[in-house]
Amino acid sequence: MNRQRLIAVTRKEFIHILRDWRSLVLAIAIPMLLIALFGYALTMDLKHVPTAIRDQSCTAESRQLISLLEGSAYFSVDRYTDDPATIADWLDAGKIMVALTIPADFADCIRAGRPVSVQALIDGADANNASLAAGYLEAIGLIYNRGLTVVGSFRSGMPGTVSLEPRAWYNPEMESRNVIIPGIIALVMVVIAAMLTSVTIAREWETGTMEQLISTPIRVPELVIGKVVPYFVIGLIDVAIAVAMGRWIFDVPLRGSPALLFLSASVFLTGALFLGLLLSINLKSQVLANQLALFTGYLPTLLLSGFVFGIYNMPTAIQVITFIVPARYFIALLKGIFLKGIGLEVLGLNMILLSVYAAVMVLLCHRKMKLKL
C-alpha cells in the first residue's frame, strides 16, 4: 500500500466534505439533536402521576395513607371525589392515571388488626407506565404496613421486625438518563456512519468519477481506507461531543477510563463505517445504500441492543438474534465504562467480539471492491 496514494485519496475526500458543507453541518448537528431529544424526551422514569382519591373513611388512618402518596415524588394527588362515576370519567378523559378508593371500614379494620383492601384503579392504556405505577403503589402499601407493625410491636412489647433496605449500585438515584445517554452514543455513531460512508463509492459511480479513479495506479486498500479516514475523524468528533453533552448537560457520571471509552468507540465506529461502505460498494446507488444502511444499523441498535428494551425480557429466538448485533457489545462496554468504572478485565469479551465485527467488515469491503468496469 502506497502511503502517498493513500494520503491523496484521504485529502480528496476531506476536500469533498468541506465543499459539501451542508453534509458536514448535519454530521455535527444531528448527534447533538439526537442526544438532546433522547436525553430530555426519552425517559423510563415515572413521576408525578395524576392521582385521584375517594376517601370513604375520612379518619386519621386513611389520612396517613393519603399523606404517603402526597409526600411521594411519584404521585401527584390533586383530585378528590365521593362519586365513583366521576372517577370513571376522569380515567376515560386521561385526566388521572391512578384512582384510590379507601373503604368506610378502613380505620375499624386497622384498629382491630383485620386485613382491609384498598381499591386502586390504574389506567392500563400504557402497559409500561401502568406496571410502574402499580409497583410504586405496592411499595407505599408496604411502607404503611411496616409503620403499623412497628407501632403495634411497640405497644405490645413484642420484638421489632426485620425490614429490607434495597440499595442500587452504580445508579443510586435510579435515573434513566444515566442508562439512556451511553446508549445514544452508539445510536449516534450508527446514524453518522449510515449517512456518510454509505454514499461514498455509490457517489463515485453515479457522478462518473470512478472511471477516473480506475485509470490511476490506485489500489483497493488505498481507496477503501482513504475513503473511510475522514469520516472516522468526524465520527470521533461526534463521540467527543456526545460524551461532553452527557457529562456536562445531563450530569451522567463517567467513572471509567476515557481512553478505553474512545478505544471502544473507535473499534465500533470502524465496523459501522465499513458496513456503510460495503453497502455503497454493492448497491452503487446513494439513495438505496443510505436507506439500507439506516435499516440495517439504526433499527437493530435501537431495538435489539439492550439500549431501550431489556434483552432478557425478549423471546428466546430474538435473544439469539441479538448476538449478531454489534451494538449489543458496544452498549455493554459503554455502560460498564460510564456507570461501573470497570475495564477490559471484565469487558474483554465484548471488546474481542466488537473487534471481530470490525475486522470482518474491513475484509469484506476489500474483497467486494473491484477497480474495474
Could you read off the pLDDT of 230-277 as tens digits, one per residue? 888 888 888 888 888 888 888 888 888 999 999 999 999 999 888 888
83-113 residue pLDDT tens = 889 998 998 888 899 999 998 888 888 888 7
Nearest to 35 by CA among 252, 220, 286, 320: 252
Q: If we measure between CA atoms, which residue out of 106, 109, 98, 92 comes closest to residue 72?
A: 98
Closest listed residue to residue 253, CA positions, set 339, 332, 343 = 339
Checking if the pLDDT of 282 tops 80, the result is no
User: Which whole-number Å values give the CA distances from 184 to 37, 63, 87, 187, 250, in the listed order?
Assistant: 10, 44, 40, 5, 12
- The grid coordinates listed for 81 are 371525589
Mean pLDDT of 222-227: 81
Burial class of residue 180, CB neighbours in 10 A (0-12, 13-18, 19+): buried
> In which residue ranges of the chain is CATH 3.40.1710.10 found?
49-156
Contacts of 220 (CB under 8 A, 6+ apart): 366, 369, 370, 371
- What fold is seen in the domain 49-156? abc type-2 transporter like fold (3.40.1710)
